[in-house]
């Protein structure tokens, strides 16, 4: 089972991202579940959403405490909430920011983690460029597909089109594709630097 935890703030589309991710898994004939963890928080309050993907029926229902992957939709949460709590030692981290892990003050933290599993992507900027709004959820899913290969970009774009019809869906697909390309390029650079 592949377990994902998505951190963001109310109004940033974190719950929608988890739902689209689970829909993408369904589109690949896999089992999935998605659910949020929040109360009556106001817009802007920290929100967590969870997604599980498996080739077999998923029977667990509790929150994801030991994620295989973390998606952080809002980098301002990094020093306010322990977003990394429970992350597996070989886990993936995708953060919505144009800054590096060092610039975020996380250089020492990620030093022992596999570098090819750690990526930042300016998802809000890519979303703004393609949709006119900095709502990064679709872009983050494109980046997630490139980073983890747990789901295909085609499945992600299909889920986006199911969630958002017409031109809005196509603009979000373009943002997801742009983030996928960004992360792919980052990983290529990283693996090229490691082998060179």
pLDDT over 90, % of the chain: 82
pLDDT value for 11? 87
Quote the tokens at residue 89: 């030692």
Q: Which residues of 60-89 are buried (b: 16+ CB within 10 A; e: fewer)?
A: eeeebeebbbbbbbbbebbeeeebbeebee
Residue 195: count of CB within 10 angstroms of its CB: 6
pLDDT value for 44? 78
pTM for the predicted model, two decimal places = 0.94
134-144 pLDDT tens trace: 999 999 999 99
33-82 pLDDT tens trace: 999 886 655 677 889 999 999 999 999 989 999 999 999 999 999 988 89
Count of structural domains, the chain: 1
| CATH for 170 | 3.40.920.10
- Specify the pairing of strand 46-54 against strand 69-72: unpaired
CA-wise closest residue to 31 among 75, 11, 1, 63 = 1
Q: Which of 19-23, 122-126, 189-193 has the lowest mean pLDDT?
A: 189-193
Q: What element of type H or E holds 4?
A: strand 2-9
Q: CA 174, CA 86: separation in Å to the nearest integer?
A: 33
Beta-carbon contacts of 188 under 8 Å, excluding residues fewer than 6 positions away, are: none
80-99 pLDDT tens trace: 889 999 999 999 999 999 99
Which domain range does residue 145 map to?
2-195
């Amino acid at each position: 089972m592949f377990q994902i935890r998505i951190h963001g703030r109310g109004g940033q589309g974190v719950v929608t991202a988890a739902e689209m991710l689970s829909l993408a898994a369904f589109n690949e004939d896999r089992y999935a579940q998605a659910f949020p963890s929040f109360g009556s928080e106001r817009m802007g309050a920290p929100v967590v959403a969870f997604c599980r993907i498996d080739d077999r029926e998923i029977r667990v229902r509790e929150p994801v405490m030991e994620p295989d992957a973390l998606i952080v939709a809002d980098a301002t949460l990094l020093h306010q909430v322990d977003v990394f709590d429970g992350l597996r030692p070989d886990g993936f981290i995708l953060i919505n920011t144009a800054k590096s892990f060092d610039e975020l003050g996380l250089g020492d933290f990620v030093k022992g983690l596999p570098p090819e599993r750690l990526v930042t992507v300016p998802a809000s900027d890519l979303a703004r460029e393609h949709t006119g709004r900095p709502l990064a959820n679709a872009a983050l899913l494109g980046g997630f597909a490139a980073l983890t290969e747990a789901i295909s970009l085609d499945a992600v774009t299909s889920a986006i089109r199911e969630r958002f019809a017409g031109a809005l869906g196509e603009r979000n697909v373009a943002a997801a594709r742009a983030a996928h390309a960004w992360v792919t390029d980052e990983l290529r650079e990283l693996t090229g630097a490691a082998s060179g």
